[in-house]
Amino acid sequence: MITLSFSFAISFFLSLWISIVFVMWILYNDHDSYVLKELLKVVQCPYCTHVFWGMADKELSSCPHCKSYVNLEEPKR
């Protein structure tokens, strides 16, 4: 059985959160990030103006605030 001390648990979860924040900061500051462009897309709901992250590979996404469907495709001109 693995014994887990309180100080080890605190240091483990703190280092886990710091590393997650660090990776998100790197991805946020890398404006040409392949990961963010291919996976996530910032979407503003046209009905309630709520801003949320939508999956870039889907055509439709559901607004988490008003539950309406939002078209993620760019309008064709």
- Residues near Zn ion (CB under 5 A) are 45, 47-48, 50, 63, 65-66
Distance CA 74, CA 69 (A): 15
Minimum CB distance to Zn ion, residue 43 (Å): 10
Task: Quote the least distance from Cβ 55 to Zn ion, whole Å.
Answer: 16
Minimal distance, residue 29 CB to Zn ion, in Å: 28
Burial of 75 (0-12, 13-18, 19+ CB in 10 A): exposed
